[in-house]
Amino acid sequence: GAEAGPPYTDGPHLWENSGKMMLLHKLLKKLQERGSRVLIFCQMTRVLDILEDYCRLVGYQYCRIDGNTTGEARDSQMNEFNEEGSSKFVFLLSTRAGG
């Protein structure tokens, strides 16, 4: 990664060291201000790990499904995201989550 470590630290370097993350950071801020909600699909779960750290750091409520998610947890995450008035803003999904 971009940080020295271990131990690894959270901080704005999660998005400042990548042009794509900087764009995503700006885009998500605008979408949240408009009241939108976002699905982010990714093939690599390690990238989902980074996005999960990012969401936690900036305070976005999120759900996540990947190939290690059990069927019961998958249903729970989908229901939580789709619930009327849900506070979940981002749904992180692996394209290999199956289903």
pLDDT digits (tens, 9 = 90+) for 54-95: 999 999 999 999 988 999 999 999 999 999 999 999 999 998
Evaluate if residue 4 carries a pLDDT over 70.
no
- d(CA 51, CA 42) in angstroms, rounded, equals 10
pLDDT of residue 2: 53
Q: Using 50, 70 and 90 to split pLDDT, how confident is the model at 98? A: low
Looking at residue 37, its amino acid is R
Strand order through the sheet with 62-65: 38-42, 90-94, 62-65
First CA to last CA distance, the chain: 31
Which two tokens mark 8?
């690894």
Beta-carbon contacts of residue 71 (< 8 Å; ≥ 6 apart): none
Whole-model pTM above 0.75? Answer: yes
pLDDT in tens, 36-57: 999 999 998 889 999 999 999 9
